[in-house]
Homo-oligomer: A and B are copies of this chain.
Amino acid sequence: MAKILTNRADDYSQWYNDIILKGGLADYSAVKGCMVIKPHGYALWENMRNELDRMFKETGHQNAYFPLFIPKSFLSKEAAHVEGFAKECAVVTHYRLKNDPNGGGVIVDPDAKLEEELIVRPTSETIIWNTYKDWIQSYRDLPLLINQWANVVRWEMRTRLFLRTTEFLWQEGHTAHATKEEAIEETTKMLEVYATFAEEFMAMPVVRGVKTANERFAGAEDTYCIEALMQDGKALQAGTSHFLGQNFAKAFDVKFQDKSNNYDYVWATSWGVSTRLVGALVMAHSDDDGLILPPKIAPLQVVIVPIFNKDVEAQAKIRKVAEELMSTLKQNNIRVKFDDDDNTRSGWKFAEYELKGVPVRIALGARDLENNVAEVARRDTKEKSSLSLDNLSGQVIQLLDDIQKNMYNKALQFRNENTRKVDNWDEFVKVLDEQAGFVSAHWDGTPATEEKIKELTKATIRCIPLNNPQEEGKCILTGNPSKERVLFARAY
């Protein structure tokens, strides 16, 4: 069978594009920088979204929906925010088209110019805090714990499918609190929700940490993040949770009356993950034959492929076993499909389901049934085994669980093997160039040094890990004293 994907070792970047396109996750679109999320990719996103949504609701959050457009003037209200966000945006200037009097289709109607331009939201802090002003008067209105699932637009010059697109889908939580402590607690609680989701559902270990000032969200006092390591040794920021202090409350004048009838500005957080997670998932686990999806979020968890010969009686028996198995698995909420399409050969189907990342494939042939077994292949290790038909569903459910755990452990081992303590500059550069991965090194704590290291090596400080051990040391670049190591890496 012809090789479908470029090998990772030959060209990792091309492998990634191949797998996204040929694995049916996404496609390029006619609009520069925007992608089409295809059914398989969207189903994956839906499963991720549903789990996250459940976790948000379990932690007391409600969903709402705010406008797509933000009046231009709103962006200027929070000084740091406008610096970081207001620049590369889609700007709506007109609200009508008209027929071209010269017959060239439609043209923008110059008479339909907006008095104030509207920005397609790159993130919604400003429009939301402008709304919260009307919703919050008293401590009784707090905390306000709201999340939004939405599309956002950031005009990116260099885009990559899922990883960096002009339009992307995400969720953004925006909460308001009476005290600083409560807001910080919310920020770290939601970081932990993201970390739990990444590890338990995506089978992707993450480092929980806090960003340096350079890498902070525009308008935040502190940005917490989860960082994952991809198979090529580059890091990927998989989610962020921001403690916004009173910055947006002050910018939009959101005050509340406390129990003692004093007025104070409200404390804020915001936190988000996006369709970028789909790209992270692909790069964390998949191989040269296609996607490897963790069972908990795989759109299809089990596929049953019949191996029919010309014996009609044997066909009927295979069909009966397949249907019983499917029915039992469905009763156990397993997403399963019986692919009896006779227009394609089983070899083609095997390759296709490998490409699509279905965790477990069960082949049922006449001889297997005679021996009371089925051939069961797991996608993660590509191991095949003959399993007894007795309680096959129970064995398959156990196997799905094993695959989920194995994928996590494999990714964790990879990260452990690719996180290196380094104590001098030459080694630092050498490790980055020859081995990649996370580099744990001392840094003197100044933005200037961080900037210089980035300039020299393209590596950035991914985060200062939470509960980071305190340790005397010398900055990798300047030799100045440092009291803890931070995690460097080249990143997506």
Q: Which residue of B lies closest to A83 (CB)?
A: B99
Contacting pair A42 B64 (CB below 8 A): yes
The answer to the question of A95 belonging to the interface, with a C-beta cut-off of 8 Å to chain B, is yes
Contact of A73 among B65, B67, B105, B155 (CB under 8 A): B105
Task: Let me know if A492 is at the binding interface, CB within 8 A.
Answer: no
Asked if B92 contacts A120 (CB within 8 A), the reply is yes
Q: In the complex, given contacts A27-B135, A68-B120, A92-B93, what are 15 additional A-B residue pairs having Cβ atoms less than 8 angstroms apart?
A: A30-B131, A31-B69, A31-B70, A31-B127, A35-B67, A69-B90, A72-B97, A76-B105, A86-B106, A89-B95, A90-B118, A91-B96, A95-B155, A96-B155, A108-B117
Chain A 73-109: CB-based contact to B (< 8 A → 1; otherwise 0): 1111000001000111111111111100000011010
Q: Which residue of B lies closest to A40 (CB)?
A: B62
Asked whether, in the complex, the Cβ of B42 is within 8 Å of the Cβ of A131, the reply is: no
| Contacting residues, chain B, for A91 (C-beta < 8 A) | 92-97, 108
Partner of A39 from the list B82, B98, B146 (CB cut-off 8 Å) is B146
Cβ A68 vs Cβ B29 within 8 A:
no
Q: Indicate if A418 sits at the interface (CB-CB under 8 A).
A: no
List of B residues within 8 angstroms of A105 by Cβ: 72-73, 75-76, 82
Contacts A46-B63, A95-B91 given; does A167 touch B68 at CB 8 Å = yes
- Residues on B with C-beta less than 8 A from A70 are 31
Closest to A130 in B: B30
Query: Mask for A9-32, Cβ within 8 A of B = 1, else 0?
Result: 000000000000000000101110
This chain's copy number in the assembly:
2
Give every chain B residue within 8 A of A155 (Cβ-Cβ): 95-96
Residues of chain B lying within 8 A (CB to CB) of residue A97: 72, 75, 86-87, 89, 91, 119
Q: How far is the CB of A255 from chain B (nearest CB, A)?
A: 18
Q: Number of residues in A with C-beta < 8 Å to the partner?
A: 63
Q: B68 near A153 (CB under 8 angstroms)?
A: yes
- Chain B residues with CB under 8 A of A189: none
Residues of B within 8 A of A37 (CB): 64-65
Contact B134 A27, beta carbon cutoff 8 Å? yes
What distance in Å separates the Cβ of A4 from its nearest Cβ neighbour in chain B?
18
For A65, what are the chain B residues with a Cβ–Cβ distance below 8 Å?
36-37, 42, 169
* A93 CB, min distance to chain B CBs, angstroms: 5
Residues of B within 8 A of A87 (CB): 96-98
Give me 19 A-to-B residue pairs in the complex whose CB atoms sit less than 8 angstroms apart, sorted by A's number: A29-B127, A36-B64, A36-B66, A39-B64, A43-B62, A68-B120, A68-B153, A72-B97, A75-B97, A76-B106, A82-B105, A87-B98, A88-B95, A90-B118, A91-B92, A91-B96, A93-B94, A97-B119, A120-B120
Chain B residues with CB under 8 A of A36: 64-67, 131
| Chain B residue nearest to A155 in the complex (CB) | B95
Alpha-carbon gap, A62 to B46, bound state (A): 11
A30 and B74 in contact, given A37-B64, A120-B120 (Cβ under 8 angstroms): yes
Chain B positions within 8 Å of A146 at CB level:
39
Query: Are B71 and A30 neighbours in the complex by a CB distance under 8 Å?
Result: yes
Complex Cα spacing A75 to B343, Å: 38
Give complex CA distance A66, B167 in Å.
Answer: 10
